[in-house]
Structure 1
Amino acid sequence: MAFLKEVRFNWSRVEEEGSYPFNIPALRNMQSISMDRNVVFLVGENGTGKSTFLEALAKSCGFSTISGGRNHPLVDHRGDFSLADIITLSWLPKVEKGFFLRAESFFNFANYLDDLAEEYGGSVYLPYGGKSLLRQSHGESFLSLFNNSFFRKGIYLLDEPEAALSPQRQLAFLRIIWELESTGNAQFIIATHSPILLAYPNSIIYSFADEGIKQMTYQETEHYQLTRDFLNNPGLFLNKLLQ
């Protein structure tokens, strides 16, 4: 059962329509986006707004915009999260717990836990696998977080979680998603470039582009089509690319 049902945009609150992030082509004509599925994927080229949208969701949920949940006071002073000021989240039921993972700033969250452990002891690590995330490989630390922290009833917002995961570990992550969402205790909204993750069944895939946000099937995504065509004939692709 999805907790977050819909995201509505209140454009009347925007004072400067031509300013970032309100001028992002994929977003500027949207009135609402349905989120009524346990697993929702956001895809699109870099700069199309999917991460900006996900960060706005995180801020609206009260999560750390670097990485973390409601109880992690990490603030990103470099980002512009004003999109959160014009969106309204429709819940049924409302959940307070969850986590926002941004792959590029996850180091800051892991370092924050180490600082806490120095002050309060190693018990700080218990909800994250029992040891410092920085003393594991990047991929190991991600899976440790997923396996140990994503068991609570909540919403999990993930920005490119595949960045640290090998293909084999992406498959392991799909199993984690299935174990959590099939219980009805977790909803995932994931921005990704991974054709492996996008294959997850019964999900919604939203493609962000200059023309707007469009729902599509897995087979319609460029991620699937390009990967399929490349694997079917890598020599042809490389010959054209490297001529």
Structure 2
Amino acid sequence: MFLRSLELLRTAVGDPNRYPFSIPALRSLESITFRSNVTFFVGENGSGKSTLLEAIAYQCGFNTAGGGRNNYFDVEASQSALGNAIRLSWFPKITNGFFLRAETFYHFATHIDSMPASLQYYGGKSLHEQSHGEAFLSLFKNRFGKKAIYLLDEPEAALSPARQLALLRIIKNLEAEAQFIIATHSPILLGYPDAQILNFDSPPISEIRYEDTLHYLVTRRFLEKRQAVLKELFDDESD
């Protein structure tokens, strides 16, 4: 494990009522200790997990539009609003890694196409010439290696359930010598064995058991009692 902890610098917060400190999980943030090579950020949309992941990417020197330290391209709203307000503690410090933003991956693929010599590090084929899910897996298989930190923001966005399982296998193959911090809504990814899961829905940010996550509970109830859940949902809608 390389990144050991994260601390919010209160002197850099400014107005606590302005974004991103208006988000309850970030307003109450003091520090986070990472105890596993695989950590998940979990919470509803707008809970702050992607904002904090982006701030970590900023402090790592990664392009906050997506990519590593040497990927220079920009997209609208790619600047981290939280990056200067956190401090990372490393042992040892590493500079290798990658920040995946699912929502800006198209721009990243276009950036890679502008540097043909770089395609060898992504499977030798344009990411635009593959399906969204294939391009994600090509990135994971060919760009990811050891002694690095990987920050993934909702990687399941382009992955079928089967390919989410394939991602878990890639993580397992690298876990001993790489660190992953993943913001996700996927109950499949969250099931990774012995992962640390940090819940952003009930401030302060704290660890939660896989079986206690809302993602697991909602998915399990739907799969086990689909007809009852749908009836309840549609009946409520018609009232």
The normalised TM-score by structure 2 is 0.95
Letter in 1 for 2:173: E
Which is further off, 203-212 or 215-224?
203-212
Letter in 2 for 1:55: E
Q: Does 2:146 correspond to 1:146?
A: no
Find runs of 4+ consecutive structure 1 residues off by over 4 angstroms.
none
Which is further off, 77-86 or 161-170?
77-86
Aligned mates of 1:179, 1:211 — CA distance in 2: 33
Q: Does 2:18 correspond to 1:19?
A: yes
Aligned length: 235
Partner of 2:184: 192
Letter in 1 for 2:154: E
Distance 1:111 1:80, change over 3 A: closer
Partner of 1:85: 84
- Please point out which of 149, 161, 167 is paired with 2:161: 167
Letter in 1 for 2:85: I
Cα shift at 1:12: 1.5
CA contact (8 A) 2:75 2:104 kept: no
Which is further off, 203-212 or 162-171?
203-212
CA contact (8 A) 1:44 1:208 kept: yes
Letter in 2 for 1:61: C
Aligned mates of 1:211, 1:145 — CA distance in 2: 34
Aligned mates of 1:135, 1:9 — CA distance in 2: 41
Q: Within 5 A, what are the aligned runs for 1:74-223?
A: 74-117=73-116, 123-181=117-175, 184-209=176-201, 211-223=203-215
Aligned mates of 1:76, 1:115 — CA distance in 2: 16
Cα shift at 1:193: 0.3
Partner of 1:228: 220
Aligned mates of 2:215, 2:171 — CA distance in 1: 20
Which is further off, 14-23 or 43-52?
14-23
CA contact (8 A) 2:152 2:181 kept: yes
Partner of 1:120: none
Q: Percent identity?
A: 53
Q: Please give the secondary structure, in 2, of the residue aligned with 1:209.
A: coil
CA RMSD of aligned residues (A): 1.2
Aligned mates of 2:192, 2:69 — CA distance in 1: 28
CA contact (8 A) 2:154 2:185 kept: yes
Could you list the runs of 5+ residues in structure 2 that have no partner in the other structure?
none
CA contact (8 A) 2:65 2:79 kept: no
CA contact (8 A) 2:3 2:34 kept: yes
Partner of 2:49: 50
Letter in 1 for 2:65: I
